[in-house]
Every structure is written in structure tokens, then in C-alpha cells.
Structure 1
Amino acid sequence: MARRVPGDGGHDAAGKNGGRARRAEGEPAGSANSAGSADSADSADSAGAARTSGSRAVGGAASAAGVGGIGGVGGIGGVAGPGAASGSGVARNGTAGGANGASGTPATPGTSSAAKRKAANGDELEALLLGGVPRHTAYEVCKAAGIPYDEARRYWRAMGFADVGQARAFTDADVDALLRLGGMPRSGLFTEDFAVQVARSMGQTTARLAEWQVDVLFDAFDTAGVGSEEMAEFGYRIGRRVLPELEELLVYVWRRQLAAAAGRVRQQLQEHAEGLQAVGFADLVSFTRLSRQLTEEELARLVSVFEANAADTVAYGGGRLIKTLGDEIMFAADSPARAARIALDLLASMRRTEAVPELRIGVAYGHVVQRNGDIYGTTVNLAARLTSLAEPDQIVVDPELADALADDASFALEPVGTRMVRGLGEIALTALTGG
């Protein structure tokens, strides 16, 4: 349950900020006040949306309180036009109504598009995404959570939050977050440094995720012809519709990934081979030259296709995509055969993809150090060096990986000579192909 900061005037929107969402912070999705209901007086009424009371819709909209609190836009298959009602076009049980995102009930006569945009402006969208209207200062949040300001600032910096001084930029959700992070060292089970590492790992991962999702959404708006003045309104309406589902999906994916990571560690401990990994790099050939020839849009599309294909191939092969570097990706696998198969599949996948240049791939096998989702060590450095030595459309592996694959008929290995590898001395290189 969300904590109330003393003196915040309650969870309803502040009187001087009338028209902001009255959804109580911490209120469960699917409740009468939040599940698809047009609960904001300004945003719902001025936008011409059907006003809901509890789960009963008035003005032609069906019952809006339903699965996961779905409400808002009339459909997810397309973007509704500016005249669509925010709460109408929603079928019973909260499922999306209307064909391909068709508009719901027409706007109330006399309601202008400018008034509707004002009702669902950037403040409404911010309050929706933050789970409430920002009304507290940093010191008020620290006092309510019982956390020293310096400790709270460590957590906020670790999560990647900018310093806002004593602006009223915080909600009750920030109190809950501080209570959870501060509760780790206070439980006696963890240190404050551990809590900071947890905050940093989540902050760095979700920052990129959020940027990616917002880029995808605004690209969709641009394709649909939504003007910049309407984007906040459309973002608010779509956010009302999908935010609870995205939140649940995020937790689901994280739990599955956590289980997979725990399983890998357990297997390594059982096999007494902790830290032994196969590491590979795949690099787009002539990317620098292409970056000068292509437009920004074409270059972004090329990188997006490359990263998407690589991520799918690595995941399908049972490996892990460690990082993407624009024209290069880094992956790892627990077994030499799995890493070799991923490398071969990466080459095959790019050959089938038009407008994507050839790849160079280098793979090495040995001990690595794992920290905060990344891996380090001589094996990683060697794999990177091998990639630069490979020819276009070629996979080069180190002696350890070649020895591990020597008896596997699924792969063919061909020595390509000895090279001086910077910082690592002379290395016998082997080209890998399918058996």
C-alpha cells in the first residue's frame, strides 16, 4: 500500500490542480476509480469521453472496469483520430472495442480539439506514468520514509535520476521505493552497497528499455500522422489502456530471466566450471563507410534490423546477448557447441537479410568474470581481437574453442595460420564452418 506523506492533502488531486487524475496512488489496477474509468473531471469531460461511475459507463460506452484495468483508447490495432472519446469504444470486461482502433463516441458538441489536448496534456501524462501527481520535495519524501537524505541521494543517483533540488517532483511511490531500498540494509541481511547495486542494475536496464519503448511509440505516432501537439493526448490515452499490462509483462519477463540466470549459476556450480564461457563478437563489415553513405533514417533502420536479428538468433540458440554497440554485438554461451551454432546461425541470418552488410565473427572460450550483467577478462578481449582479424563472412575461433569442437561432426574447422594478437601474443587461428 502506498504511504501518505504527512500534509499532502490526501491522495486526490490537489485543489489547485483540479482535473488531474484522481486515481489514488497505490490503488490496485482494476478498481472502480482506475480501471478504464474516465476519472479525471477535465480530461474525460472536456475530451468528450463517456464518464464512468464505478464500472458502469454512461453515454454509450460499455462497462469499462475489466481485465487489468483496461480502458481509454477504443482499440490497439490502430490509433484513433482526435475526435475519439477517451473512455468509449471499450467492450465489456475491459477488452478493446471498435475495429482497428476505431473512434468511440463523438466528442461533445462545442468541445474543441484544443480543449481536449489541454485536458490530456503533458501534466496528465506525467501523473499517469508516475502513478500520481508530483507534489513532494526530496526532504519530505526522505522524512516520510525515515531515510537520511544522503542515503536516499545515493539510491536516486544509482537509479539514474537527475538532481531536482527541492522541487516538488516526487510522489508517494517514491516513498515506497525508498522504504524498500532502505529496508535492505536495515534488515541486517544486506549492506547499503548491495542496495545501491540493486538500484543501479535496475536503473541502467530500465532506462534503455524506457527510451526504446518511447521511441517505438512515437515512431508509430509519426507513421499515423499524429501531430506533435496531439502526442501528449494520445500518449495519455494509450497509456491508460496498456500501462497496467506492460507493468505485468515486465515483471513476468524479469522473473523468467531471473530463473534462467539462477539455473545457469546452479549448473556451473554443479559442474565445477564456474566462470567458463564461450564469448563471441559479431561486427558489421564496412559500417563506417556505410554511415557516410546512408541517411540517418536508413542507418537507424540498418542498426535496428541487425540488432533485432542478432537478439533473436542468440536467444533461439540458448545464448545471452550481453551488449549491442551499434555495428557490433557481444554474446555468450555456456558451451562451445552452443556458441559455435549461434555464430553460424548469425551468418546465415544476415545472408538472408537484404541491405545488411556481411559479418565478421570471433569466438573464444575460457574463464570470464561476470559483474552487473556484463562479462570481462582475457577471453573477452581475445574474442574482440579475433573479430577484427576475421575476413568478411568468416568466423574465427581461438585454440581452446577449436579443441572443444574437434570431435563434434556438426562443425568443420580449418586452420588459417598464426597471428600476433595485440596484448596477447601469437595465437593460432581456426576458421569455423558448418559440418
Structure 2
Amino acid sequence: MVPGDGGRDAARNGGGIADSAPDAGAAESEQAAETAETAESTQSAPAAESAGTTGTTGTTASGASSGAGSARSGLPDVPDLPDVPTTAGEAAPSEDQAQAWAAAKRKANGDELEALLLGGVPRHTAYEVCKAAGIPYDEARRYWRAMGFADVGQARAFTDADVDALLRLGGMPRSGLFTEEFAIQVARSMGQTTARLAEWQVDALFDAFDTAGVGSAEMAEFGYRIGRRVLPELEELLVYVWRRQLAAAAGRVRQQLQEHAEGQQAVGFADLVSFTRLSRQLSEEELARLVSVFEATAADTVAFGGGRLIKTLGDEIMFAADSPARAARIALDLLASMRRTEAVPELRIGVAYGHVVQRNGDIYGTTVNLAARLTSLAEPDQIVVDPELAKALDPDAAFALAPIGTRMVRGLGEIEASALTPAE
């Protein structure tokens, strides 16, 4: 265990780690960042900055005829920097000097980007962070693992922001209102969700770089300049979306309690037909594009219909809705939207209605298993529903149901299934 030693007050009052100094590498990183900032301020500013705009990356200087960014649509204009600093009359640098300076510039750019994304220069060890936050090391490690952070030992990989986060997480059980297990669940939910979000956004950014012709040696520099402009806006947007989703989830729970129908939901699966065969025929880029179009179209359709996209599995998506009619409408809209999308093959959809168990953002239970099994029974471009959903939809004139006979569902016995279509 690591003692607190008054580290909590040190972190709050001093904004850092008591009795700890950055190592030489951290000092060099700070110096490199300051040097790069100074150099940047003396060069011509990107067009978006000179125009007084903030948080945009699509503006370039009018009439620009040179510079790395002038021919890259959608990215800020970043002037080319020489690989080796030279002055008039000096001899041309040797190849070794040029390569060494280029490597130093890339390192400085990478250090700047890391410090920007982390909110500070990594300079503290795990021990120092725990001491400042007054949290035992074993407890802190449980939080870090829950958030999905790799074990870095006692490397200087932490910033002052890590102290603040540890204070917040450790403060939950110490307040007496929550247990440590609750704090770990909070950490895990945020870690797993934001890990995928971060991967998704970085992939999109690098795809934009690749399309714009940005070389690997320039990516850190472009990433830093773009991140400095848009990171505050993205952070605010993330909090906004989270609050809206939190309010929607709380509203659903409140409605279920009022209606005494806790856990009653409609669950659907939509599966791409012949995806295995297509994966052998298409190139990796074509396959990735197919999955991306499918997931994006499905997510928009489910959200528009008032449902929730529970998970995506490449060639399959899982969604849920609080009412049978809403789930049925989503299923019909999914078929219609995919038919309008030439890049996506046919769908099979299965939907069931009943009790589910909600846990960690996912849902489980017999109803979920039944919906998955019904999907495998459906023909291409067909929606198959279970008896409970068919019964609930029967009075609704907007839907047509046609019995397709008794089907043997693996693990669940015989089911009287029906095919769902829109009413004529």
C-alpha cells in the first residue's frame, strides 16, 4: 500500500506531485514543445486562425500557391518547415545531419501532440500519483485496469490530470455514498465506451490525412495543430451527448417503473445475407466500406425510430425498443433503407418481445436468444417475429402479419413464427 502523506492537499493546492521533479526526458519534452510553439508563432498563421475562426479545419488561405497545406482540401494550411535550420552562406547540411534533425522534429511534434491530448506533459510515476491523491496503489491499479489502461510500472507516464481523476474515483467510496465496486463499474463503463470512441475518431482522422496526402512524418504536426483547435469543442460535445443519453436512459427506467413493466422490451437482430461469401470476394478496403455503410445506415435508422443500437458485430446489429410497434417500425425501415443502399446486400431480421436483463449497457435473456434464433430462420429480406410480438402488433393496422408455421428453434423448442410486413 502507498500512504497518502497529505498528498491530497498537495495535489489540490500545488496542482501537481509533492516532492517530485520531472526527469530529464520530461524536461526535454517541455523544452521541445516550447521551442516548437515559439517557432510556430513566428511563421505565417494558418488561414483559419488569421480569419479569426475557431474549431474548423476546412479553411485555407485564398490564393495560396505553396506550402504543405495549400493542396490539401479539408485540412488547415501548415507551412513546410526545413528539415535542417540553415542561414544564408552556410554549407548544405550532410545527409546524417538532415536525418538527425528530421527525427528530432518528429519527436518534438509527437511530444507536443501527446501533451495536448493528455492535458499535460507526462512526468509522474504511478507511486507519485497515488501519494498525491492519497489512494493506495492497489486500489488505484484496480481503477486503471477498469478504465483499460496498460500497466506502465513506475515509468513517468502520468500527468496532473491523473491525480484529479484518481481523487474523483477514490472519493466515491470515501464519501460513504458509494462502494468501491460502484466506482470500478463507473470506471469500466467509461473506459470501454471511450476506448472504442477514440479508436473510431483516430481512424477517421488518419483516413482524412491519407486522402489529403499527408505523409507519416507530418501526421504528428498536423494532428497537434488540428487537435489544438478542435479538442475543446470535442470535449464539450462529448459531455453534451453523454448528458442527453443519460437523460434518455433515466427516462426509460422511470417509465418502466411507472408502468410496472420493468425489463419488458422488444429486441431485434439484423444480419447481412451471404457476408461470409462476400468477405472472400471483396478486398479489405471494400469489405471495410461495406461494414461501415451497413453500421452507419443501421445506426441512423434505429435512432430515428426511437430505438437503441445495443451492439454491432460486423455483419450483424442488435437493437432494442421499449414498445412492440416501435421495434416493428424499425425493422421495416431497416429493410427499406438497406434496399436503397446498393452497396449493402439483403438482410434477415428477427424480432422478439419479452423480459430482458440489462447490465453494463447490454441486454441478456431468453428474449434476446429467441430474436437471434429467429434471424437465422428468416429468408433474405424477411422479418420474422415471435408470438408475443405478433400478439402485441395484431391490433395495429399499420402492420401485416402472416403465419409461417411452427419452427424448431434451437434450445427453445417449437415456436409459432410470423412474417412481418407493412400493411397495404
Is the pair's TM-score, using the shorter chain for normalization, greater than 0.5?
A: yes
Q: Find the aligned partners of 1:215 and 1:340 in 2 and give their Cα distance.
A: 34
- 1:206 paired with 2:199, answer no
User: Deviation string for 1:398-425 (max 9, x for gaps)?
Assistant: 0000000001000000000001111111
Once superposed, what is the RMSD of the aligned Cα atoms?
3.0
User: Deviation string for 1:48-105 (max 9, x for gaps)?
Assistant: x225xxxxxx9678996999x948xx843579999469xxx9xxxxxxxx99656367
- 1:5 paired with 2:17, answer yes
Q: Find the aligned partners of 2:181 and 2:256 in 1 and give their Cα distance.
A: 26
Tell me the residue number matched to 2:296: 308
Q: Find the aligned partners of 1:63 and 1:416 in 2 and give their Cα distance.
A: 61
**Structure 1 residues 269 and 78: CA distance shift in structure 2, 3 A:** farther
If the length of structure 2 is used for normalisation, what is the TM-score?
Answer: 0.85
Say which of 103, 106, 109 aligns to 2:77.
103
- 1:42 paired with 2:35, answer yes
**Structure 1 residues 281 and 82: CA distance shift in structure 2, 3 A:** farther
Q: Find the aligned partners of 1:363 and 1:281 in 2 and give their Cα distance.
A: 7
Tell me the residue number matched to 2:170: 182
Tell me the residue number matched to 1:240: 228
Q: Find the aligned partners of 2:27 and 2:51 in 1 and give their Cα distance.
A: 29
Alpha carbons 1:279, 1:333 under 8 Å: kept: yes
Tell me the residue number matched to 1:158: 146
Secondary structure of 1:167's aligned partner: coil
Tell me the residue number matched to 1:392: 380
Aligned 1:265-284 pairs, distance under 5 A: 265-284=253-272
Q: Find the aligned partners of 1:82 and 1:66 in 2 and give their Cα distance.
A: 19
Alpha carbons 1:81, 1:103 under 8 Å: kept: no
Q: Find the aligned partners of 1:18 and 1:280 in 2 and give their Cα distance.
A: 52
Secondary structure of 2:222's aligned partner: helix
Please report how far the alpha carbon of residue 145 of structure 1 lies from its aligned counterpart in structure 2 after TM superposition.
0.3
Q: Find the aligned partners of 2:108 and 2:233 in 1 and give their Cα distance.
A: 21
**Unaligned runs of at least 5 residues, structure 1:** 21-39, 52-57, 90-97
Q: Find the aligned partners of 1:81 and 1:201 in 2 and give their Cα distance.
A: 48
User: Deviation string for 1:301-340 (max 9, x for gaps)?
Assistant: 0000000000000000000000000000000000000000
Say which of 238, 242, 260 aligns to 1:254.
242
- 1:225 paired with 2:237, answer no
**Unaligned runs of at least 5 residues, structure 2:** 1-11, 88-97
User: Deviation string for 1:358-415 (max 9, x for gaps)?
Assistant: 0000000000000010000000000000000000000000000000000100000000
Please report how far the alpha carbon of residue 115 of structure 1 lies from its aligned counterpart in structure 2 after TM superposition.
8.0
Please report how far the alpha carbon of residue 19 of structure 1 lies from its aligned counterpart in structure 2 after TM superposition.
2.7
Say which of 313, 319, 323 aligns to 1:331.
319
Please report how far the alpha carbon of residue 233 of structure 1 lies from its aligned counterpart in structure 2 after TM superposition.
1.1
Aligned 1:72-83 pairs, distance under 5 A: 75-77=57-59, 83=67
Query: Hey, which of these two has a bigger chunk of helix by percent?
Result: 2
Higher RCO, 1 or 2 (CA under 8 Å, sep at least 6)? Answer: 2
Q: Find the aligned partners of 1:423 and 1:63 in 2 and give their Cα distance.
A: 61
Alpha carbons 2:76, 2:226 under 8 Å: kept: no
**Structure 1 residues 104 and 379: CA distance shift in structure 2, 3 A:** closer
User: Deviation string for 1:167-221 (max 9, x for gaps)?
Assistant: 1111111100100000000000000000000000000000000000000000000
Secondary structure of 2:216's aligned partner: coil
- The one-letter amino acid of 1:334's match is D
Tell me the residue number matched to 1:295: 283
Aligned 1:381-420 pairs, distance under 5 A: 381-420=369-408
Secondary structure of 2:41's aligned partner: coil
Matched pairs, number: 392
Secondary structure of 2:318's aligned partner: strand
Alpha carbons 1:120, 1:232 under 8 Å: kept: no
- The one-letter amino acid of 2:186's match is V
- 1:168 paired with 2:156, answer yes
